[in-house]
Amino acid sequence: MTRLLLAELRHHASSWTWTCVVAVVAGACVSGQFMAMRGSLRSAAAATGVNRWGVSVRADMTDAAHTVSAVIIISVLLATAAVLTSTAALVISQHQRDHGLWRALGMPPGTLRAILLGQLGVVGALGSLGGGALGWPVARIMVPLLIDQEVALPGTRPQWDAGDLIWTALVVAGGVMIGGWGAARRAARATEVELIMGRGGVETAWSLRRVFGVLGWLLLAGGFATGIVAAAVTAHRSGPMTDESVNAVILGSFSVLGLVCVLAPRLVPLVERALGLLPLRGPAWLVSTRTASLQSRRSSATVLPFLVAIGLVAVMFGATHAGFSNMRLSGFLAMFGLAMVTAWSGGVAVIAMSASSRRRDKALLVAAGARERTVLGVQVLEGVLHAGAAVLLGLLIWVIAGAFMAAASMEGVAATIGRGPWAELGVVGGLTLVTTCLSVVISTRVGRRQNVAQVLRARD
């Protein structure tokens, strides 16, 4: 089984490339944060005296280093698992015909699942090793941010510890395994015929497992919805600008972000179809809207990482504009920067992994007589649709969060929303637009040059 696992990885190395890229980025973020934490702990151990609250500087800075590092590493782990859910599912779905042949030749479902999880484990190990080598520049960037936030003492330098390699491997490999677990389980549950026909993982019957899956999704969405309602009640009862109402508003805003992200697979297709109803003319707009509508699952996976970034900006900087916190750019980057980099790389990876489908779409358009500028317009507009969906859902998060913040402040809803973080949202929205458009265009045009017939005959 080990020989088959490694041979399959080597044979399909190009398919796993972007999954490895995400794992390496996550490994670099985790390794760099460990180095920054080690440096913070060493500088704290050498500190003397007490701070302005009468607490020992050594104890205070040690606790801060542990707490902040734990939050950052957990956020990177969650971001890794979220984006790997999409990338691993895409890789496994591309090879499901091979998996169907293995099953037809007598491979048990448990063995297939073990091989797929083993491949994910190898990818996670490679990501942790590559990330460990790239962790030093990440640590050099993080240490000044932590010093600015008074989480590390001035003069702190990154410190490397051999034991952190093990922890980095556990975090990264754990994120990869969590992200790919569902795809491996669905591939193992599918029949040989479904896999060979390319329909593995598409559940049509209401099995007990599917019922539990739907119930789990409903419980998760219901949990976020309950948090929103509880936060609204608490903010209303506690009165404006009290500690209880401010804390409830912040937690309720994060619950809104979580609920929209959970509903993203259903909301993104609706938003992109609504954008497709705009009265714009031209074949490029028609083709791009139809492609986004047909590839709704791929669109959701592409939009989600950017939606998380926009939602975090809306909540954190919205609280600052409402007067509930003094969050600055350095503080935001210190707490969420590494998780955003991981999520952002996942969004680019999903776009790049779908390049073969876009090449076929391009070949079909060329065969139908479309001009090069029309093909380019289709690709750019697809990126615009993805970015537009992310921005609109991010604005929805801010509108609901702004209504929460208005309940805890002394201003009305319209005034609170009106003086929201529009500049910050504009910057992250513009970066999303540029990233999606460039990723779609570049991923379609790189690689081996083939004529139209070769592209149409090629397999993923």
Per-residue pLDDT of 196-240, as tens digits, reads 776 555 555 556 666 766 787 788 888 888 988 888 888 778 777
The radius of gyration computed from the CA coordinates of the chain, to the nearest angstrom, equals 24
Same domain, 30 and 135: yes
Tell me which of 260 and 280 has the higher pLDDT: 260
Lowest-confidence segment of 43-57, 226-240, 289-303, 317-331 by average pLDDT: 43-57
Same domain, 18 and 152: yes
Examine the fold and report which residue of 204, 233, 253 is the final residue of a domain before the chain moves on.
204
Q: Is the pLDDT of residue 184 over 60?
A: yes
Same domain, 380 and 459: yes
In a domain, 360, yes or no: yes
Q: Please check whether residue 354 is in contact with residue 344, taking contact to mean a CB–CB distance below 8 angstroms.
A: no
- For tokens 């180095």, the residue is 35
- Please report, as a single letter, which amino acid is at residue 2: T
Q: Is the pLDDT of residue 169 over 60?
A: yes
* 287-292 contact pairs (CB < 8 A, 24+): 287/361, 287/365, 287/378, 288/377, 288/378, 288/379, 288/381, 288/382, 288/384, 288/385, 289/381, 289/385, 291/361, 291/378, 291/382, 292/382, 292/385, 292/386
In a domain, 248, yes or no: no
In a domain, 209, yes or no: no
Same domain, 125 and 14: yes
In a domain, 76, yes or no: yes
In a domain, 222, yes or no: no
Q: What is the pLDDT of residue 55?
A: 57
Q: What is the pLDDT of residue 429?
A: 92
Q: What is the pLDDT of residue 455?
A: 59
Same domain, 66 and 148: yes
CA 53, 54, 60: angle at the middle one, nearest 5? 80
Q: What is the pLDDT of residue 415?
A: 86
Highest mean pLDDT: which range of 142-151, 366-375, 406-415: 142-151
Lowest-confidence segment of 9-23, 101-115, 288-302, 430-444 by average pLDDT: 288-302
Tell me, what DSSP letter sits at residue 9? H
Tell me, what DSSP letter sits at residue 242? -
Residue 153: strand, helix, or coil: coil
Taken as a whole, the chain contains a residue count of 460
Domains in the chain: how many in total? 2
Q: Please check whether residue 156 is in contact with residue 69, taking contact to mean a CB–CB distance below 8 angstroms.
A: no
Residue 330: strand, helix, or coil: helix
- For tokens 């390319």, the residue is 198
Highest mean pLDDT: which range of 123-127, 243-247, 362-366, 386-390: 386-390
Same domain, 171 and 303: no
CA atoms within 13 A on the CB side of 143: 25
Q: Is the pLDDT of residue 312 over 80?
A: yes
Question: Model confidence at 393, in pLDDT bands (50, 70, 90)?
Answer: very high
Question: Model confidence at 275, in pLDDT bands (50, 70, 90)?
Answer: confident
Q: Is the pLDDT of residue 334 over 80?
A: yes
- Mean pLDDT score, 63-70: 82
Q: Is the pLDDT of residue 274 over 60?
A: yes
Q: What is the pLDDT of residue 396?
A: 93
Q: Please check whether residue 159 is in contact with residue 42, taking contact to mean a CB–CB distance below 8 angstroms.
A: yes
- Mean pLDDT score, 334-356: 84
Question: Model confidence at 456, in pLDDT bands (50, 70, 90)?
Answer: low
- Mean pLDDT score, 3-30: 80
Examine the fold and report which residue of 155, 189, 204 is the final residue of a domain before the chain moves on.
204
Tell me which of 18 and 260 has the higher pLDDT: 260
Residue 165's domain spans which residues?
Answer: 1-204
Q: Please check whether residue 350 is in contact with residue 302, taking contact to mean a CB–CB distance below 8 angstroms.
A: yes
Strand partners, 56: 50
- Mean pLDDT score, 261-276: 86
Same domain, 447 and 302: yes
Q: What is the pLDDT of residue 57?
A: 66
Same domain, 301 and 378: yes
CA 130/CA 2 separation, integer angstroms: 22
CA 363/CA 366 separation, integer angstroms: 5
Highest mean pLDDT: which range of 99-108, 217-226, 364-373, 388-397: 388-397
- Mean pLDDT score, 187-191: 80
Q: Is the pLDDT of residue 44 over 90?
A: no
In a domain, 271, yes or no: yes
Q: What is the pLDDT of residue 378?
A: 84
Q: Is the pLDDT of residue 392 over 70?
A: yes
Q: Please check whether residue 288 is in contact with residue 378, taking contact to mean a CB–CB distance below 8 angstroms.
A: yes
Tell me which of 301 and 37 has the higher pLDDT: 37
Highest mean pLDDT: which range of 225-229, 323-327, 381-385, 390-394: 390-394
Same domain, 185 and 275: no
Same domain, 49 and 126: yes
Same domain, 183 and 69: yes
What percent of the chain shows pLDDT beyond 90? Answer: 7
Q: What is the mean pLDDT of the chain?
A: 81
In a domain, 53, yes or no: yes
Examine the fold and report which residue of 204, 221, 252 is the final residue of a domain before the chain moves on.
204
- Count CB neighbours of 94 within 10 A: 16
Q: Is the pLDDT of residue 53 over 60?
A: no
Phi first, then psi, for residue 56 (nearest 5°) are: -55, 130
Q: What is the pLDDT of residue 431?
A: 93
In a domain, 215, yes or no: no
Lowest-confidence segment of 58-72, 126-140, 246-260, 378-392 by average pLDDT: 58-72
Q: Is the pLDDT of residue 364 over 80?
A: no
Q: What is the pLDDT of residue 105?
A: 80
CA 48/CA 52 separation, integer angstroms: 13
- Mean pLDDT score, 27-39: 88
Same domain, 70 and 164: yes
User: What would the two tokens of residue 325 be?
Assistant: 């916190």
Question: Cβ-count burial of 100 within 10 angstroms (0-12 exposed, 13-18 middle, 19+ buried)?
Answer: buried
Question: Model confidence at 427, in pLDDT bands (50, 70, 90)?
Answer: very high
Q: Is the pLDDT of residue 279 over 90?
A: no
